[in-house]
């Protein structure tokens, strides 16, 4: 069981282009999923936006990114977050619970459309955290 800590970059509508560029720089394997592919589109204009991308570089470096639909706030310069992900539910829920103290929960930790448990919060220092627990039942 492994937990990883990764930067997660937010883009307005060019995540695919950015992640393909980083792929050309870092090598490795790039996966890209759109809002439509993950059945998460609420507006046809979002269909081809990137809901999640992950680049695992040849040396093990991992970088994630996504587009930000027009219905969501986007602030260039503040478009990053930290992602904690893995399959150790107790460990990740423990991090979630501790990070939640004094935080603003922007998405409760719950079953996501891709089948994992996922949650987002902004901690008391203003840092956005994403927690993804692989293959867990609904919270």
Distance separating alpha carbons of residues 127 and 124, to the nearest angstrom: 8
- CATH number 3.10.180.10 is the correct assignment for the domain at 3-133: yes
pLDDT tens-digit series, residues 101-124: 999 999 999 999 899 999 999 998
CA 32 vs CA 5, 54, 137, 138: distances in Å: 19, 7, 24, 25
For residue range 66-89, what is the model confidence (pLDDT) as tens digits? 999 998 888 887 788 899 999 999
* Residue % of the chain over a pLDDT of 90: 66
Calpha distance 23→54 (Å, rounded): 10
Per-residue pLDDT at 125: 80
β-strands 128-133, 80-86 pairing: parallel
Residue 90 and residue 88: Cα distance in Å, rounded?
A: 6
- Which pLDDT score is estimated for 138? 52
Domain ranges of the chain: 3-133
Mean pLDDT of the chain: 90
pLDDT at site 1: 63
Q: Is the pLDDT of residue 63 over 80?
A: yes
**Over the stretch 18-28, which tens digit does the pLDDT of each residue have?**
999 899 988 99
């Amino acid at each position: 069981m492994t937990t990883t800590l990764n930067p997660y970059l937010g883009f307005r509508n060019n995540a695919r282009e950015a992640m393909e560029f980083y792929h050309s720089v870092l090598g490795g394997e790039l996966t890209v999923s759109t809002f439509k592919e993950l059945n998460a589109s609420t507006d046809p204009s979002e269909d081809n936006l990137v809901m999640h991308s992950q680049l695992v570089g040849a040396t093990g470096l991992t970088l994630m990114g996504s587009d930000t639909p027009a219905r969501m706030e986007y602030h260039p310069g503040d478009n990053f977050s930290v992602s904690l992900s893995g399959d150790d539910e107790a460990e990740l829920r423990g991090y979630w619970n501790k990070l939640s103290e004094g935080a603003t929960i922007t998405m409760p930790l719950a079953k996501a459309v891709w089948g994992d448990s996922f949650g987002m919060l902004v901690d008391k220092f203003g840092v956005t955290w994403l927690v993804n627990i692989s293959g867990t039942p609904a919270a």
